[in-house]
């Protein structure tokens, strides 16, 4: 009797699922027809009284959602309505449970606390500097989110949860503390995975470049973005806690990689790096090729599937002056990737100081030595493979950005190289004392640089405030009666770096790319900081050179109304040109 009632309930639920699936498929398929999209555009024009071109991007997104909806409905129906699908779901759930029971999560508490303290110490001067870093300026002043434009939907929604409102407010250092909490877990998990479930103090210290490399320091400088950037790193590592079960690993990998893509895509190189190092470790230890290629295939499959899903159904095309989310066309893919790779390697070479480069070369040397002398393979073969692996990992550390037409090369986009260094350091952290000394030396250099960087931020910010104060004082004297409609301002040149920054740059050139000018021409946030944070919002910002209707005030032959040691002001009463002096 009870079984009959259960069967009836299952039948009713199946019928409901089938009905909803049919409705959903009809709705999604309808959107695929151009005529329907035209109707939607016409309706949007009538309702909002704007041109249809305004909604083209939205309709393209709707089309992607429709395709994604069709795929999701078919997959959901397979998993709920067919015996094979239900069996597959049960197996995946059971494998995930088994993996959870096999992991001793209590063993992560003390290492996690240690890494939290180390990371907190590393960003202490950044927190103390209390600088609104680039995008922070606009978000603190206006409360907008904007991650949606870069297809970072998780960042967008999580920010509402963290800030407790759809309008963001400045709540630092909470976001940065959340970021280092996730980085701490990432370091512990990374050591756990690479060191074959052995967590040592040296191994944990070896993972420091994951969160305190010069490149990720820029991520931690953001008061609003930091936790979502750290989440992307954590999502890259979590799947490898489930490598003992194939189906669980594949499922968790796809989900985690989608989380990565929807939080911060610059972390897309970390997952392939871990797959490669684990395959190399097992191969070097004499594991069968069948097992190695099976794991490699799963990793590649998970990565490719997640990237394809993200590209087809979630990527929102977006182009700004310095970068884009648009990929190279198939015809331009190879030369485009090579050009991106060249710029990536040149950026690293120019950013890193000589001491860092020497230590990194020593660490790579010890990696090859360990691989050769501890190998179950032929020594020559192991040498060639380890050398090739290092080169290939450096290339892949830039992740999916290699495929874009105009990827971002700012420091925050290059932190995959820091993950590469962390992986190599962890791998040799249980080798000879000389190797351990090299690892600790590099990590000490990064820790010291983190202190220097935070202090440099504060020093540059003090100087910027000083220059803005003088400039606004002069403008207030020149224009005591302000006209809210007619006056507009344009800045020429940018502030020079302080002696502190210049001194650091002698050995660590990357500092000049990390410290933002905060008052510079063609810099949106510099204008926002200059005009809004000092209550001078009545002046209109002149559009930038990449905007329509841009007029270069330098070519307008404006009369000089003030010339001082720090700047020259030219104006005709409506247009103001400020020429900054170093």
Q: What is the DSSP letter of 328?
A: P
Residue in this structure with the two tokens 């701490």, named with its chain if needed: 184
Tokens of 335: 């030369």
- Give the whole-angstrom CA distance, residue 316 versus residue 326: 9
CA–CA separation, 17 vs 465, rounded Å?
61
Give the distance, in angstroms, between the CA of residue 521 and the centroid of all CA atoms in the same chain. Answer: 26
**How far apart, in Å, are the Cα atoms of 9 and each of 4, 13, 14, 76?**
9, 6, 9, 19
Place of tokens 């490149």: 215
> For 410, left (φ over 0), alpha (ψ -120 to 50), or beta?
beta
The single residue listed with the structure tokens 């609003």 is 224
The span from the CA of 147 to the CA of 162, in Å, is: 15
In angstroms, rounded to a whole number, what is the distance separating the alpha carbons of residues 117 and 574?
Answer: 54
- The secondary structure element, H or E, covering residue 132 is none
Q: What size, in residues, is the chain? A: 582
Complete DSSP assignment for 530-568: HHHTTT-TTSEEPPPTTSTT---GGGS-PPEEEE-SSEE
* Beta-strand runs (E) in 424-559: 488-492, 540-541
Q: What pLDDT, on a 0 to 100 scale, did the predictor assign at position 54?
A: 46
526-539 in b/e burial notation, b at 16+ Cβ within 10 A? bbbbbbbbeebeeb
Phi, psi (rounded to 5 degrees) for 404: -85, 150
Query: Tokens standing for 179?
Result: 């970021």
Residue 181 to residue 162: CA distance in whole angstroms: 14
Tell me the C-alpha to C-alpha distance, in Å, between residue 119 and each of 54, 182, 450.
45, 10, 10
Print the SS3 string covering 269-325: HHHHHHHHHHHHHHHHCCCCHHHHHHHHHHHHHHHHHHHHHHHHHCCCCCECCCCEC
Pairing relationship of beta strands 575-580 and 488-492 according to DSSP bridges: parallel
CA-atom Rg of the chain in angstroms: 27
Domain boundaries, the chain: 2-81, 104-431, 473-580
| C-alpha span between 228 and 539 (Å, rounded) | 34
540 closest CA partner among 578, 487, 501, 462: 487
pLDDT by residue for the chain (582 residues), tens only, comes to 566 666 677 677 777 777 777 887 777 777 666 666 566 666 656 655 555 444 555 566 666 677 777 777 887 777 777 888 888 888 888 888 888 888 888 889 999 999 999 999 999 999 999 998 988 888 888 888 888 777 888 998 999 999 988 888 889 899 999 999 999 999 999 999 999 889 999 999 999 999 999 999 999 999 999 999 999 999 999 999 999 888 999 999 999 999 999 999 899 999 999 999 999 999 998 888 889 999 999 999 999 999 888 887 777 766 555 566 677 788 888 999 999 999 999 999 999 999 999 999 999 999 999 999 888 888 899 999 999 999 999 999 999 899 888 888 999 999 999 999 999 999 999 888 999 999 999 999 999 999 999 999 999 999 999 998 998 889 888 888 755 567 788 888 888 899 999 999 999 999 999 998 778 776 777 777 777 777 776 666 665 555 666 778 888 889 999 999 999 999 888 888 889 987
Give helix 246-261 / helix 226-237 axis angle, nearest 10°. 160
Confidence (pTM)? 0.89
How many C-beta atoms surround the C-beta of residue 541 within 10 A? 17
Query: DSSP letter at 496?
Result: P
Per-residue model confidence (pLDDT) at position 152: 86
Q: Residue 52: its pLDDT value, please?
A: 46
Name the phi and psi angles at 491, rounded to 5.
-105, 135
- Give the Å distances, CA to CA, from 181 to 25, 136, 202, 226, 422: 42, 21, 20, 11, 17
For residue 413, what pLDDT is reported? 92
HEC profile of 34-93: HHHHHHHHHHHHHHHCCCHHHHHHHHHHHHHHHHHHHHHHHHHHHHHHCHHHHHHHHHHH
* Residue 301 tokens, joined: 């499959």
- pLDDT computed for residue 509 by the predictor: 94
End-to-end alpha-carbon separation of the chain, Å? 88
Residue that the structure tokens 């400039």 belong to: 471
The residue whose two tokens read 């009666």 is 481
- As a whole number of angstroms, the distance between CA 342 and CA 345 comes to 5
CA distance 285 to 196: 12
Tell how strand 567-571 and strand 560-563 pair up: antiparallel
What's the rounded Cα separation, in Å, for the pair 3 and 191?
A: 49
- Cα gap 493→578, rounded to integer Å: 9
- Cβ count within 10 A of residue 29: 14
Residues whose CB falls within 8 Å of the CB of residue 486, separated by 6 or more in sequence, listed in order: 573, 574
| Nearest residue to 119 (alpha-carbon basis) of 422, 441, 447 | 447
């Amino acid at each position: 009797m009870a079984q009959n009632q259960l069967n009836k309930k299952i039948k009713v639920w199946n019928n409901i699922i089938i009905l909803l699936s049919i409705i959903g498929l009809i709705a999604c398929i309808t959107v695929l027809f151009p005529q329907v999209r035209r109707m939607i555009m016409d309706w949007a024009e009538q309702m909002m009284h704007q041109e249809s071109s305004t909604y083209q991007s939205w309709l393209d997104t709707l089309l992607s959602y429709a395709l994604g909806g069709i795929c999701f409905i078919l997959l959901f129906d397979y998993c709920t309505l067919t015996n094979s699908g239900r069996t597959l779901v049960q197996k995946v759930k059971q494998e995930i449970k088994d993996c959870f029971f096999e992991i001793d999560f209590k063993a992560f508490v003390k290492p996690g606390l240690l890494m939290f303290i180390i990371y907190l110490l590393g960003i202490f001067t950044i927190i103390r500097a209390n600088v609104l870093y680039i995008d922070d300026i606009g978000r603190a002043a206006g409360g907008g989110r904007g991650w949606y434009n870069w297809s970072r939907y998780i960042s967008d929604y999580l920010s509402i949860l963290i800030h407790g409102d759809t309008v963001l407010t400045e709540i630092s250092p909470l976001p940065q503390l959340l970021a280092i909490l996730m980085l701490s877990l990432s370091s512990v998990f990374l050591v756990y995975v690479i060191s074959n479930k052995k967590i040592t103090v040296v191994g944990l210290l070896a993972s420091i470049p994951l969160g305190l490399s010069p490149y990720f320091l820029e991520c931690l400088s953001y008061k609003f973005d930091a936790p979502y950037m750290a989440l992307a790193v954590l999502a890259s590592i979590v799947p490898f806690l489930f490598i003992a079960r194939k189906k669980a690993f594949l499922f968790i990998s796809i989900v985690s990689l989608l989380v990565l893509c929807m939080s911060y895509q610059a972390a897309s190189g970390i997952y392939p790096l871990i797959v490669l190092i684990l395959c190399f470790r097992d191969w070097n230890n004499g594991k069968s090729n069948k097992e190695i290629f099976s794991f490699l295939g799963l990793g590649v499959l998970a990565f490719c599937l997640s990237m394809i899903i993200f590209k087809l159904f979630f990527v929102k095309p977006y182009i700004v002056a310095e970068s884009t989310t648009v990929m190279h066309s198939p015809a331009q893919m190879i030369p485009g990737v090579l050009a991106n790779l060249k710029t990536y390697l040149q950026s690293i070479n120019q950013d890193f100081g000589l001491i860092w480069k020497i230590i990194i070369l020593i660490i790579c040397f010890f990696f090859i030595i360990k691989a050769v002398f501890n190998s179950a393979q032929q020594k020559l073969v192991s040498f060639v493979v380890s050398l090739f692996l290092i080169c290939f990992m450096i290339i892949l550390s830039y992740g999916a950005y290699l495929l874009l037409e105009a990827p971002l090369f700012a420091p925050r986009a290059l932190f995959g190289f820091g993950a590469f260094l962390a992986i190599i350091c962890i791998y040799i952290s249980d080798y000879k004392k000389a190797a351990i000394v090299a690892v600790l030396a590099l990590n000490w250099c990064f820790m010291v640089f983190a202190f220097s960087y935070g202090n440099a931020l504060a020093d540059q910010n003090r100087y910027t405030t000083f220059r803005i104060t003088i400039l606004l004082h002069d403008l207030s004297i020149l224009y005591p009666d302000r006209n809210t409609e007619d006056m507009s301002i344009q800045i020429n040149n940018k502030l020079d770096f302080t002696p502190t920054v210049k001194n650091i740059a002698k050995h660590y050139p990357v500092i000049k790319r990390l410290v933002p000018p905060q008052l510079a021409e063609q810099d949106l946030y510099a204008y926002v900081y200059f005009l809004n944070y000092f209550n001078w919002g009545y002046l209109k910002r002149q559009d930038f050179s990449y905007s329509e209707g841009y007029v270069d005030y330098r070519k307008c032959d404006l009369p000089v109304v003030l010339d001082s040691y720090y700047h020259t002001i030219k104006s005709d009463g409506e247009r103001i040109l400020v020429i900054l002096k170093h």
